[in-house]
Amino acid sequence: MQDKLYNYLLMLGDNSMILGHRLSELCGHGPSLETDIALTNMSLDLFGQVRSYFQYAAKLKAGDATEDSIAFLRTERNHHNALLVEQPNEDFAHVITRQYFFDQYHLLLLEQLCESKDEQINAIAHKSIKEVKYHHRFSKTWMKRLAQGTRVSHEKMQAAVTSLYPYTEELTKANAVENEMFNQGIGADLASIKSVYYEEVDGLLSNIGLQKPEEGFFYKGGKEGIHTEHFGFILSDFQYMQRTYPNMTW
Amino acid sequence: MEHSIEYLEKQFQDRIDRGENIEAKDWMPEKYRKTHIRQISQHAHSEIVGMLPEGNWITRAPSLRRKVALLAKVQDEAGHGLYLYSAAETLGISRDELFHQLHTGKAKYSSIFNYPAVTWADMGAIGWLVDGAAIINQVMLTRTSYGPYARAMVRICKEESFHQRQGYEIMITLCNGTEEQKAMAQDALNRWWWPSLMMFGPTDAESTHTEQSMKWKIKRKTNDELRQQFIDITIPQAEFLGLTVPDPDLKWNEERGHYDFGEIDWTEFWQVVKGFGPCNKERLKARNKAWDNGAWVREAALAYSEKQSKESIRKAV
């Protein structure tokens, strides 16, 4: 089995899965019907991507692996999403900021994966980029609206940026798997993504009057399976049925 | 030329009798308008509150396929809420006002959503029975006399029938599964059967709105007719699943060509309608919380759009 490719697919899939999960927690609880529908739509898109990645991963793994065994039966240390996407839905400002910080990365990543030598990843990226362009437009527009709306919304956005910005660097900091995948022409070049990413993000923040935190400190660990304390609770919900009723068909 | 109210009412009733649709700008009796606001908004509220019992299982859905289907279903309900609030707005009431009526407990919504969704099998039972019962009502409403409502219902019905099949398919999977899964399915049917029958409202003898609603072709069948239709359709489906409907009095009546069924517990029905069902308080609390927590977002969006339009006027000048 191609271990590195399999692990790369887990990283790609886990980011979409955990963010999709966070968005799915909001279904029915949004600030308006329109935003509720939009956030659910993004969650649906992300879970669609998860299915594509994990169906492919299951083929590579062979045996009796399925998209569901990969999605539902791994423990905390075997999940490889960035810490950003597991951050909780503190309020709508955090939801939007988390989304924009991820969407900006996701868009740049998929642009490169559309050139991937791996046919499956290439095809998934072509399908997903259409969705992610919309996510990016949605979250970027809401960043502007909330930063420049009222004094209250501005303060909430500033608090969200201050708390979430330190999670951004991990997205573009390549680990061994990502480096190997880039060298093989399968994965993206995160170094080149990083410079464009911060041009875009820092440019937007400055345009809409939000400050990035002064300390240049960043969190990391998710990609290596070392998560925040939120993560176990996500899995408790996410895996509840599969763990309580093992080996059943639903 | 000014016409008397009696003349206008007669003309209006003639149009209805000829089977014409009434449109938003047409003259209509005040009571017809109010009845529609009440009915369409209750329906819209039911869609929105109805997102909660199922929404509570999205994060715990047992497979990716089921999760995506459930997310899409609950999202459809939000969409139905949108069409219906828009249809109600054509009658001269704002969405904010309708929300206010919901949040303060003034407006009603379908009582079925005051029951808890306690196991995964409830996702099957709700789709199969609750959406099934809703469709019976809604298919009738596609031919209701008020045009915007009837047209909203056409679209809603297409999606609801998909939801119903999706729910039934969950039930089939459970009933083909392990003993534990089948017991879960039976338990869900036991809990949702009677509340589903109550969805059609009080018996015709007790229904206060039916007579006028029939005259205005808001409704085309009575509560009891619709309930019987639902039972007749659903019993063979339960038999196919190998499940037992929790009604010892249920039996086929050859002479009537319908199933006879047991007495509905109307005390429970009225208790839930009056706000004392198992989840009435939680449902209203959840809606109020979402609305209150979202207030600053809506205010910011409004303030931003006002700033943008001032800016574009300034640039244009």
CA distance to partner chain B, nearest, from residue A183 (Å): 32
Question: Domain for residue A175, yes or no?
Answer: yes
Which residue range is the domain that position A153 belongs to?
A: 2-244
Residue B121: closest CA among chain A residues belongs to which residue?
Answer: A250
Closest Cβ opposite residue B307 in set A72, A146, A148: A148
pLDDT-derived band of residue A158, with 50, 70 and 90 as boundaries?
Answer: very high
Question: Domain for residue A201, yes or no?
Answer: yes
pLDDT-derived band of residue B190, with 50, 70 and 90 as boundaries?
Answer: very high
Residue A24 sits at the chain B interface (C-beta within 8 Å): yes
Residue B82: closest CA among chain A residues belongs to which residue?
Answer: A33
Q: Smallest Cα–Cα separation from B273: which of B191, B192, B201, B196?
A: B201
Residue A249: closest CA among chain B residues belongs to which residue?
Answer: B177
For chain A, the maximum distance between any two Cα atoms, rounded to a whole number of angstroms, is 57
Question: Domain for residue A249, yes or no?
Answer: no
Q: Which among B113, B293, B297 is the top mutation candidate for probing chain A, defined by the most A β-carbons within 10 Å of its own β-carbon?
A: B297
Closest Cβ opposite residue A248 in set B65, B72, B181: B181
pLDDT-derived band of residue B38, with 50, 70 and 90 as boundaries?
Answer: very high
DSSP assignment of chain A, as one string? --HHHHHHHHHHHHHHHHHHHHHHTTTT-SSSHHHHHHHHHHHHHHHHHHHHHHHHHHHHH-TT--HHHHHHS--GGG----HHHHS---SHHHHHHHHHHHHHHHHHHHHHHTT-SSHHHHHHHHHHHHHHHHHHHHHHHHHHHHHSS-HHHHHHHHHHHHHHGGGSHHHHS--HHHHHHHHTTSS--HHHHHHHHHHHHHHHHHHTT-PPPSS------GGGT---THHHHHHHHHTHHHHHSTT---
Residues of B in contact with A24 (CB under 8 A): 58-59, 67, 71
Whether B297 sits inside 8 A of A35 (CB atoms) is yes
Q: What is the pLDDT of residue A116?
A: 98
* Stretch 90-119 of chain A: residues touching chain B, C-beta under 8 Å: 91-92
Q: What is the pLDDT of residue B208?
A: 78
- If you average pLDDT over residues B133-146, what whole number do you get? 92
Provide, rounded to the nearest whole percent, the portion of chain B with pLDDT above 90.
89
Pairwise CA distance, residues B112 & B273, whole Å: 9
**Beta-bridge partner residues of B191:** none
- If you average pLDDT over residues A150-178, what whole number do you get? 97
Provide, rounded to the nearest whole percent, the portion of chain A with pLDDT above 70.
100
Determine phi and psi for A212, rounding to 5 degrees: -85, 155
Residue A141 sits at the chain B interface (C-beta within 8 Å): no
Question: Domain for residue A250, yes or no?
Answer: no
Q: What is the pLDDT of residue B1?
A: 60
Give yes or no for residue B2 having a pLDDT over 90: no
* Stretch 26-65 of chain B: residues touching chain A, C-beta under 8 Å: 48, 51-52, 55, 58-65
CA-to-CA dists, residue B219 to B133, B164, B233, angstroms: 15, 22, 20
Residue A72 sits at the chain B interface (C-beta within 8 Å): yes
Domain count, chain A: 1
Q: What is the pLDDT of residue B210?
A: 77
Least confident of B2-6, B111-115, B201-205, B249-253: B2-6
- If you average pLDDT over residues B272-277, what whole number do you get? 93
Q: Which among B45, B56, B57, B64 is the top mutation candidate for probing chain A, defined by the most A β-carbons within 10 Å of its own β-carbon?
A: B64
Residue A155 sits at the chain B interface (C-beta within 8 Å): no
Pairwise CA distance, residues B69 & A153, whole Å: 34
CA distance to partner chain A, nearest, from residue B274 (Å): 24
SS in 3 state form for chain B? Answer: CCCCHHHHHHHHHHHHHCCCCECCCCCCCHHHHHHHHHHHHHHHHHHHHCHHHHHCCHHHCCCHHHHHHHHHHHHHHHHHHHHHHHHHHCCCCCHHHHHHHHHCCCCCCCHHHHCCCCCCHHHHHHHHHHHHHHHHHHHHHCCCCEHHHHHHHHHHHHHHHHHHHHHHHHHHHHHCCCHHHHHHHHHHHHHHHHHHHHCCCCCCCCCCCHHHHHHCCCCCCCHHHHHHHHHHHHHHHHHHHCCCCCCCCCEEECCCCEEECCCCCHHHHHHHHHHHCCCHHHHHHHHHHHHHHCHHHHHHHHHHHHHHHHHHHHHHC
- Number of neighbours of residue A134 by Cβ within 10 angstroms: 15
CA distance to partner chain B, nearest, from residue A191 (Å): 33
- Using one digit for the tens of pLDDT, what is the confidence trace for A74-100? 999 999 999 999 999 999 999 999 999
Residue A244 sits at the chain B interface (C-beta within 8 Å): no
Pairwise CA distance, residues B316 & A128, whole Å: 39
Pairwise CA distance, residues B267 & B282, whole Å: 21
Q: What is the pLDDT of residue A2?
A: 82
- If you average pLDDT over residues A55-81, what whole number do you get? 96
Whether B55 sits inside 8 A of A28 (CB atoms) is yes
CATH number at residue A176: 1.20.1260.10
Question: Domain for residue A236, yes or no?
Answer: yes
- If you average pLDDT over residues B45-64, what whole number do you get? 97
- Using one digit for the tens of pLDDT, what is the confidence trace for B90-118? 999 999 999 999 999 999 999 999 999 99
- If you average pLDDT over residues B6-28, what whole number do you get? 94
Whether B75 sits inside 8 A of A41 (CB atoms) is yes
Report residue B207 as tokens.
């229904």
Pairwise CA distance, residues B71 & A119, whole Å: 29
> What pairing do the DSSP bridges indicate for beta strands B258-260 and B251-253?
antiparallel
* Stretch 246-275 of chain B: residues touching chain A, C-beta under 8 Å: none
Q: Which among A37, A42, A53, A74 is the top mutation candidate for probing chain B, defined by the most B β-carbons within 10 Å of its own β-carbon?
A: A37
Residue the block writes with tokens 């990083």: A194
Pairwise CA distance, residues A67 & A82, whole Å: 20
- Number of neighbours of residue A161 by Cβ within 10 angstroms: 23
Whether B180 sits inside 8 A of A245 (CB atoms) is yes
Q: Cα dihedral sign for A197, A200, A203, A207?
A: negative
ipTM at complex level: 0.97
Report residue B51 as tokens.
């997102």
Angle at A93 between CA A87 and CA A95, to 5 degrees: 40
Pairwise CA distance, residues A154 & A78, whole Å: 38
pTM of the entire structure?
Answer: 0.95
- If you average pLDDT over residues A100-106, what whole number do you get? 98
Burial label, A220 (beta-carbon count in 10 A; 0-12, 13-18, 19+): middle
Residue the block writes with tokens 């056409």: B154
pLDDT-derived band of residue A129, with 50, 70 and 90 as boundaries?
Answer: very high
Burial state string for A170-192 with b = 16 or more CB within 10 A and e = fewer than 16:
bbbebbebbebbbeeebbbebee
- Using one digit for the tens of pLDDT, what is the confidence trace for A11-47? 999 999 999 999 999 999 999 999 999 999 999 999 9
pLDDT-derived band of residue B18, with 50, 70 and 90 as boundaries?
Answer: very high
Residue length of chain B? 317
Angle at A69 between CA B171 and CA A58, to 5 degrees: 120
Residue B68 sits at the chain A interface (C-beta within 8 Å): yes
Residues of A in contact with B176 (CB under 8 A): 249
Give yes or no for residue B135 having a pLDDT over 80: yes
- Using one digit for the tens of pLDDT, what is the confidence trace for A211-233? 999 888 899 999 999 999 999 99
Give yes or no for residue B209 having a pLDDT over 80: no
Residue B298 sits at the chain A interface (C-beta within 8 Å): yes
Q: What is the pLDDT of residue A215?
A: 83
Residue A20: closest CA among chain B residues belongs to which residue?
Answer: B59
Pairwise CA distance, residues B132 & B236, whole Å: 13
* Stretch 169-198 of chain B: residues touching chain A, C-beta under 8 Å: 170, 173-174, 176-178, 180-181
Pairwise CA distance, residues B186 & B191, whole Å: 9
Residue B83: closest CA among chain A residues belongs to which residue?
Answer: A33
What is the distance between the terminal CA atoms of chain B, rounded to a whole angstrom?
Answer: 45
